[in-house]
Amino acid sequence: MITQDQGFFGRLTWDSFPVAALIRHPGTNEIVANAAAAVVVVGVVVVVALLSWFRLWGPLWRDWLTSADHKKIGIMYVVFAVVMLARGVLEGVVMRAQQAAGPGDGFLAAEHFAELFSTHGTIMIFFVAVPFVFGIANYVVPLMIGARDVAFPVMNQISLGLTVSAGMMLMVSLVVGEFSTGGWTAYPPYTGAAFNPGVGPDYWIWAIVVSGIGTTLTGINFAVTIYKLRAPGMTFMRLPMYCWTIICSSILIVFAMPPLGVAALLLAADRYLDFHFFTNDLGGNMMNYANLFWLFGHPEVYLLVLPAYGIYSEVFATFSAKRLYGYNSLVIATMSIAILSFTVWLHHFFTMGQSALINAVFGIATMLIAIPTGVKVYDWMATLWRGRIRFSVPMLYGLAFLMLFVIGGLSGVILANPTVDYQVHNTLFLVAHFHNVLLPGVLFGLLAAYNYWFPKAFGFRLNEGWGRVSVALWTLGFMLTFLPLYFVGLLGMPRRSFSWEDPDFHPYMIVALIGALVVLGALLSVLVQLWVSIRDRDRTRVPAGDPWDGRTLEWSIPAPPPAYNFAIIPRVSDRDEFAAAKEGGAAYPSPAAYEDIDIPRNTGIGFILCVLSGVWMFALVWWIWWLAILASVLIILAIIFWSFDSSTELTIPAEEVRKAHEAWLEQVRQAPAIDRDDETTSRNRGLARPDLEPAT
Amino acid sequence: MLAALVALAVSGPVMGASDSFMDPQGPIAAVQKTHMLRATWLILIAVIPVLVLVPLIAWRYRRRRNSAATYAPNWDFSAGLEFLMWGVPVAIVVVLSIYLWKATHRLDPYAAPFGEGPAVQVQVVGLDWKWLFIYPELGIASVGEMGMPTGRQVALTLTTDTVMQSFMIPALAGQIYAMPGMTTQLHLVADTPGVMQGENTQYNGRGFTGQKFETRAMTQDDFNGWVETVRANGILLDGDTYRTLAMRTDRTEVQAALGTEKMPDNALYFRLDDGDLFHTILGRYHRGTALAVHDQPGTADFGKTPTGQEAGE
C-alpha cells in the first residue's frame, strides 16, 4: 500500500543503490551484488563507447532500430535473448555454487539467493525462451510460407520494443533497488504489500505486464500471418511442419497470456491501491492467483516447446534427406497438445487441498499429453529410418534431444500422478524435470535452428567444429547439472534452498556445480563459434542460398535474402516445395516479368514505445507519479501521431528487383553444384545437386 | 557416473535414516514409493525403445558411400506403424490412468485409509519460520517437535498465520499447502518408532531452510509419556506468548526467546490456554475488517504499534 511521504523521486533514495550497502557493511554477498550491477553498468558503457568509436549510431538507427523488416526484427530478438541467456546462465552457476558450498549457509544471503532464483526463472522464460522462439519464427516463418513480411510489420516492431524494455527492467533492478524474492511465479500473499513492501515484486509485475502485451501482439501477428499470407497453393496441409507449430504456439499465446496479465494487474491493484484480491484478509484468496497464473503457465511451456518440435521436424527431414514421416500424425499431435495444454493447469498445485476426484481428472488429462508427444518422438525416429543421416550440428542437437527429452517425458508422467507429486512437488525433482524439458527440448531446438538458419540470415555458415564442441558441452553440461537433481529431489531436498544440512546431498551438489560450469563453457563455445565463423566468413559463404539441400521455400532464395524476400511470389504444389522443384529441375526459375514490390517503411514508433514504456515501468516501480503520468501521456500521443503517418510502405521498382534477382541467378549458375560430401567444405556455395544415387 | 548416482539414490543406508519416501516409515509413503516405481517401469516401455533405437538408427542409416542400408527418400507413411505409434502410448496411458485413479483416491490426504482406532488430532499452524503443533484434545502444543503414536492415524488440520507454506514429512506422506484463513488436511501413519524430519517446502523468506522439525513416532505408551512431559514442562501459550512465537524469527531465535531449561535444546513445549487457539488464528482473517500490517504475523512490522514501538514488552 502506498504511503504518503515521498519526494520528487518517489521512494527512490541513495539507499536504493546496492553500492550503499557495500559501503556500509561490505561482505561477500554485497560484493557479488555490486559485481552484478557493475557488469550491467560497464556493459552499457562499453556498448555506447564502441558504437560511438565506430560511428555506428546512424547505421544502428537506420538499419536496425527503426526497421520493420521481419528478418531484422528476428535477429534483434535473438541477440536480446542471447544477452539475457548469458545473465540467466551466470545466475544458474552462482546458485549452483551457493548450494555446492554447503552443508551450511554458503556465501550468499538468503534474500540474495531468492532474488537469483526469481530473476533466473523470469529471465529464462520471458526474456530468453520467448524472444528466442519468436526471433527464429520472425526470421523463418515468412520465408517458409512465401511471404514478404509478417501481417503487421509495425506491430511486430512494437512487440520487440515492449519485450526489450521489460527485459531491461530486470537489468535496471540489478543497479537500482532489488528484484522480487517471490520466484518466477510470484505467489501472493508472499508478494503482497504486507509481506514484501519493497520494489522487488513491482519490478516483476510491470516487466510481466509489458512483455506480456508484447508477446500477445506477437501471437496475433503470427496467427494472422500464417492464416492470410501463405503463398498461392500452400494449403494448410502443405504448410511446413514448423509453421504448424508456430500457428499452435500463436493460438496458445492469444489465449494464455491474458490470464497472466490479469493476475499480475490484480496483484498490482493489491499492492498499489489496497485492493484485496489475494491478501489474507477481507476475502482475498491466493488460490485464485495460483489458478490464473497456471492457466497461463502451463500453455506457456507448450508455446515454447511446440516451435522447437517444429524445428526438429525440419532438421530431421533435411539432414536425413527424406520426407518428414507421418506429417498428418504430427499435425494432429501438435494440435492435440495445444488443446490439451489448457486442460492441465491444476497439476501445478495438486497439493493445494482439492478433492481426489479433481486431482485424478487433471492427472489423467496431464498423462494424455504424453500420447501425442510420444507419437511425435516415434514419427521423428521413423523420419530418420531409411534416411541418409548427416551428423551436422543441428542433427546432433536433434539426436541429443530425442535421447534426453524422453527422460524428461518420463519424469513428467511420474509427476502427473498426484500421489507421487505430493512427495516430489517443490523439490529439486521438479526443477530437474522442467530443466530436462526446457533445455534438451526448447534450448537445443533453438540452437539447432540457429545453426540451421544462420547461413540463410547472414550468407555464411557457422563453424562446424565449434558447433560440435558446443553440442557436446551443452549435452554433457545438462546431464551433469540436472540428472543429479532428480535424485537429490527424491531424497527430499526442497527447491529454492539457499542452505542445507543433510550430508547425503553433498555429492549431488558438487556434481551439479561441475555441470553448471560445463554449461557455462557451452555458452562460451557458442560465442567462440560465432566469432570464428565471422572471422572465416569468406570461406563459408553460400550466396546461392541452399547450403543444406533444403526442402522448403526459404532455401530457394538468396542468402541473405533481399528485403522483399521473394522477387516473385512462388506457387506451391508440394509440401516439400523446394525439394520437389529441385527434383523436377524447376528450381531457380527466371521469371518472365517483374513487378514493383511494396515493403514496410522504417518507423521509429517501436523504439519510442520501447523507451517510453521503460520510463513508465520505472516510474511505477518507484512511485514517481508525475513521471508515470507524463510517460502515459507521451505513449498515447506517440501512438496517435504515428497513426496519422500514411506513408508506411516503400516501393521497390520492378527494374531494381529484376537487376538484383538476375545478378543472383547468375551467381547460382556460377556456383558449383555440390553433393553432400562437400556440405561442410568451402566448395559449398549454397547450390545442391542430387546426392548419392540410391544403393539399390 | 549416472549409474553411480542411481545406486546412491536407491540404496537405503546412504540415504539418512528416514528423510525421504524412498525409505518410507509408514504405509502412505510406502504406497507412494511403490506407485512411483511401478509407473516408472510402465513408462519405460515407451522410453527404452527410443533410447535403444535412436543410436542404432542413426548409425545404421548414416550417410556414407556404398551403404548397404535402404534409402527411401519418399517413404512417409505406414498404416501399421501409425497404429503402433499411437497404440502403444494409448495403452500405457490407459493402464497408468486406471492406476492413477485408484491411487489418488486411496491416498487422498483428506481420507484416512490406514491405521485403526480414532485418530490423534493435531492442528498445525505455519509461522515464519517454524511450525506450531496444537493437540487440542490433549491441551498441549509444541514447536520443533511433533510427537505421534505408531500404528495409529494422525489427522492434521493445517493453516498458516502468515504467507502460504507447504507442510511435508517425506518419510510418512506427501505435502499439503497450508494457507492463511483456510484449512487443509493431511493424514499420517507411522509404522515403527523413529525420528523423521518434517519441513516446509514453499520458499517464505530468510528462515525458509531452517523451518524443519523432528517427527517423533513412539509407541502409545511412550507417546503418553511425551504428552505428560510436554504438559509438565511447557509454558502457557497465552496471547503474549503466541505473539512472540509468531514474530518473524527462525527456530534458533524463537528458542532463545521462549525456551526454558526444562525443554529440549531444539523444541518448545506449551500448555494451551485458549481452548481453540487454532480457530482464533483462522478467525482473524474472517472478521470482515482489514488487518493492519502490525497485526499480521510474518510481516516486518508485526508486533510494533503504529508508532513503531514494541508491543507487549
User: Could you tell me if A403 and A453 are in contact, meaning their C-beta atoms sit under 8 angstroms apart?
Assistant: no
Contact A195 B67 (CB under 8 A): no
Say how far apart CA A370 and CA B123 lie, in whole Å.
39
Neighboring chain B residues of A384 at a CB cutoff of 8 Å: 54, 57-58, 61
Which of B77, B176, B199 is opposite residue A351, by nearest beta carbon?
Answer: B176
Instruction: Point out which residues pair with B187 in neighbouring strands.
Output: B155
Contact B39 A414 (CB under 8 A): yes
Neighboring chain A residues of B19 at a CB cutoff of 8 Å: 491-492, 502
pLDDT of residue B6: 53
Which of A281, A349, A426 is opposite residue B290, by nearest beta carbon?
Answer: A281
Neighboring chain A residues of B178 at a CB cutoff of 8 Å: none
Contact A389 B174 (CB under 8 A): no
Contact A423 B53 (CB under 8 A): no
CB contacts < 8 A (A, B): 322
Give yes or no for residue B305 having a pLDDT over 80: no
In a domain, A16, yes or no: no
Give yes or no for residue B309 having a pLDDT over 50: no
Which of B54, B109, B287 is opposite residue A399, by nearest beta carbon?
Answer: B54
Which of A111, A327, A403 is opposite residue B76, by nearest beta carbon?
Answer: A327
In a domain, B66, yes or no: no
User: Could you tell me if A408 and A441 are in contact, meaning their C-beta atoms sit under 8 angstroms apart?
Assistant: yes
In a domain, A609, yes or no: no
**pLDDT level of residue B15 (50, 70, 90 thresholds):** very low
In a domain, A6, yes or no: no
The whole domain housing A332 covers: 56-603+648-678
User: Could you tell me if A382 and B75 are in contact, meaning their C-beta atoms sit under 8 angstroms apart?
Assistant: no
Which of A111, A352, A374 is opposite residue B46, by nearest beta carbon?
Answer: A374
Q: Does any CB of chain B come closer than 8 Å to the CB of residue A500?
A: yes
Same domain, B129 and B241: yes
Least confident of A294-303, A558-567, A627-636, B18-27: B18-27
In a domain, B156, yes or no: yes
**pLDDT level of residue B304 (50, 70, 90 thresholds):** confident
| Backbone dihedral region for residue A25 (phi beyond 0: left; psi -120 to 50: alpha; all else: beta) | beta
Same domain, B122 and B250: yes
Interval B180-222: pLDDT, tens:
999 999 999 999 999 999 999 999 999 999 999 999 999 999 9
Neighboring chain B residues of A484 at a CB cutoff of 8 Å: 5
Report the CATH number at residue A466: 1.20.210.10
pLDDT of residue A5: 62
What are the angstrom distances between the C-alpha of A272 and each of A145, A260, A620? 46, 18, 9
Give yes or no for residue A298 having a pLDDT over 90: yes
Neighboring chain A residues of B101 at a CB cutoff of 8 Å: 360, 364
Alpha helices in A149-240 (DSSP H): 153-175, 200-228
Burial (Cβ within 10 Å: 0-12, 13-18, ≥19) of residue A512: buried
Neighboring chain B residues of A194 at a CB cutoff of 8 Å: 293, 296, 299
What are the angstrom distances between the C-alpha of A371 and each of A168, A298, A332, A382, B248? 39, 17, 11, 16, 47
Amino acid of residue A295: L
Distance from CA of A390 to the nearest CA of B (A): 6
Q: Does any CB of chain B come closer than 8 Å to the CB of residue A494?
A: yes
Contact B291 A357 (CB under 8 A): no
In a domain, B2, yes or no: no
Which of A110, A187, A389 is opposite residue B58, by nearest beta carbon?
Answer: A389
**pLDDT level of residue B253 (50, 70, 90 thresholds):** very high
Q: List all residues of chain A from 268 to 307 with a beta carbon under 8 Å from chain B.
A: 276, 280-282, 285-287
Give yes or no for residue A693 having a pLDDT over 70: no
Greatest Cα pair distance, chain B, in angstroms, is 90
Distance between start and end Cα atoms, chain A: 77
Give yes or no for residue A215 having a pLDDT over 80: yes
Task: Work out how many domains chain B is built from and give that number.
Answer: 2
In sequence order, what E strands does A241-356 have?
none
In a domain, A361, yes or no: yes
Distance from CA of B259 to the nearest CA of A (A): 23
Q: Does any CB of chain B come closer than 8 Å to the CB of residue A331?
A: no
Same domain, B167 and B33: no
In a domain, B300, yes or no: no
Same domain, B90 and B169: no
In a domain, A29, yes or no: no
Cell matching residue B71: 534409402
pLDDT above 70 covers a percentage of chain A that reads: 99
Residue with cell 550417410: B63
Task: Work out how many domains chain A is built from and give that number.
Answer: 1
Q: Which residue of B has its CA nearest to A186?
A: B203
| Region A549-567 average pLDDT | 96
CB-based contacts of A105, cutoff 8 Å, min separation 6: A498, A499
- b/e map of B102-115 (b: 16 or more CB within 10 Å)? ebbbebbbeebebb
> In residues, how long is chain B?
313
Give yes or no for residue A267 having a pLDDT over 70: yes
- b/e map of A59-70 (b: 16 or more CB within 10 Å)? eeeeebbbbbbb
Say how far apart CA B224 and CA B50 lie, in whole Å.
56
Neighboring chain A residues of B111 at a CB cutoff of 8 Å: 356
Interval B115-158: pLDDT, tens:
777 899 999 999 999 999 999 999 999 999 999 999 999 999 99
Q: List all residues of chain A from 153 to 182 with a beta carbon under 8 Å from chain B.
A: 181-182
Distance from CA of A415 to the nearest CA of B (A): 9
CB-based contacts of B14, cutoff 8 Å, min separation 6: A504, B8
Which of A320, A402, A426 is opposite residue B201, by nearest beta carbon?
Answer: A426
pLDDT of residue B116: 72
In a domain, B312, yes or no: no
Neighboring chain B residues of A389 at a CB cutoff of 8 Å: 57-58, 61-63
Say how far apart CA A128 and CA A134 lie, in whole Å.
10
Mean pLDDT over each residue of chain A, to the nearest integer: 95
CB-based contacts of B287, cutoff 8 Å, min separation 6: A281
Contact A326 B103 (CB under 8 A): no
Give yes or no for residue A219 having a pLDDT over 50: yes
Cell matching residue B50: 527410443
Helix/strand/coil for B152 = strand
Say how far apart CA B297 and CA B165 lie, in whole Å.
14
Distance between start and end Cα atoms, chain B: 57
Report the CATH number at residue B276: 2.60.40.420
The whole domain housing B46 covers: 19-61+77-107
Q: Does any CB of chain B come closer than 8 Å to the CB of residue A321?
A: yes
Mode of pairing for the β-strands spanning B212-218 and B194-200: antiparallel
Say how far apart CA A283 and CA A189 lie, in whole Å.
13
Say how far apart CA A122 and CA A254 lie, in whole Å.
20
Which of B35, B103, B293 is opposite residue A194, by nearest beta carbon?
Answer: B293
DSSP class of A145: T
In a domain, A684, yes or no: no
**pLDDT level of residue A615 (50, 70, 90 thresholds):** very high
* CA proximity to A370, closest of A381, A378, A380: A378
Q: Which of B71, B99, B208 to mutate to test the interface with A (most CBs of A within 10 A)?
A: B71
In a domain, B238, yes or no: yes
* CA proximity to A339, closest of A248, A258, A271: A248
Q: Does any CB of chain B come closer than 8 Å to the CB of residue A693?
A: no
* CA proximity to A449, closest of A77, A26, A171: A77
In a domain, B14, yes or no: no
Q: Which residue of B has its CA nearest to A370?
A: B89
Burial (Cβ within 10 Å: 0-12, 13-18, ≥19) of residue A257: buried
Give yes or no for residue B107 having a pLDDT over 70: yes
In a domain, A186, yes or no: yes
pLDDT above 90 covers a percentage of chain B that reads: 84
Distance from CA of A71 to the nearest CA of B (A): 31
Interval A67-113: pLDDT, tens:
999 999 999 999 999 999 999 999 999 999 999 998 988 899 999 99
Say how far apart CA A353 and CA A422 lie, in whole Å.
11
Alpha helices in A464-505 (DSSP H): 464-490
**pLDDT level of residue B313 (50, 70, 90 thresholds):** very low
Interval A384-422: pLDDT, tens:
999 999 999 999 999 999 999 999 999 999 999 999 999
Say how far apart CA A620 and CA A633 lie, in whole Å.
14
Instruction: Point out which residues pair with A299 in neighbouring strands.
Output: none
Q: Which residue of B has its CA nearest to A117?
A: B203
Mean pLDDT over each residue of chain B, to the nearest integer: 90
Same domain, B189 and B290: yes
Contact A491 B296 (CB under 8 A): no
Contact A402 B66 (CB under 8 A): no
pLDDT of residue A97: 96
Same domain, B90 and B164: no
Say how far apart CA B198 and CA B222 lie, in whole Å.
20
| Region A22-35 average pLDDT | 85
Contact A281 B289 (CB under 8 A): yes
Mode of pairing for the β-strands spanning B130-135 and B116-127: antiparallel
Same domain, B103 and B131: no
Neighboring chain A residues of B57 at a CB cutoff of 8 Å: 381, 384-385, 389
Give yes or no for residue A172 having a pLDDT over 80: yes
Cell matching residue B74: 519418399
Contact A691 B63 (CB under 8 A): yes
User: Could you tell me if B85 and A378 are in contact, meaning their C-beta atoms sit under 8 angstroms apart?
Assistant: yes
Neighboring chain A residues of B66 at a CB cutoff of 8 Å: 695
- b/e map of A406-421 (b: 16 or more CB within 10 Å)? bbbbbbbbbbbbbbbb
Neighbour count for residue A503 (Cβ, 10 Å): 11
Q: Which of A108, A195, A349, A678 to mutate to test the interface with B (most CBs of B within 10 A)?
A: A195
Contact A349 B57 (CB under 8 A): no
Cell matching residue A140: 523463418
In sequence order, what E strands does chain B have?
116-127, 130-135, 140-143, 145-149, 152-160, 165-169, 173-178, 184-188, 194-200, 212-218, 235-237, 268-272
Q: Does any CB of chain B come closer than 8 Å to the CB of residue A143?
A: no
- b/e map of A364-390 (b: 16 or more CB within 10 Å)? bbbbbbbbbbbbbbbbbbbbbbbbbbb
> In residues, how long is chain A?
696
Contact A423 B101 (CB under 8 A): no
Give yes or no for residue B8 having a pLDDT over 60: no
Neighboring chain B residues of A287 at a CB cutoff of 8 Å: 179, 182
Say how far apart CA B162 and CA A286 lie, in whole Å.
12
Q: What is the 3-state secondary structure (H, E, C) of B167-199?
A: EEECCCEEEEEECECCCEEEEECCCCCEEEEEE
Neighbour count for residue B284 (Cβ, 10 Å): 17
Say how far apart CA A671 and CA A667 lie, in whole Å.
6
In a domain, A45, yes or no: no
Considering the entire predicted model, what is its pTM? Answer: 0.95
Q: List all residues of chain A from 49 to 88 with a beta carbon under 8 Å from chain B.
A: none
| Region B42-49 average pLDDT | 94
Instruction: Point out which residues pair with A389 in neighbouring strands.
Output: B62
Which of B21, B47, B75 is opposite residue A423, by nearest beta carbon?
Answer: B21
pLDDT of residue A98: 95
Neighboring chain A residues of B205 at a CB cutoff of 8 Å: 110-111, 114, 181, 190
Helix/strand/coil for A679 = coil
In a domain, B98, yes or no: yes
- b/e map of A299-309 (b: 16 or more CB within 10 Å)? bbbbbbbbbbb
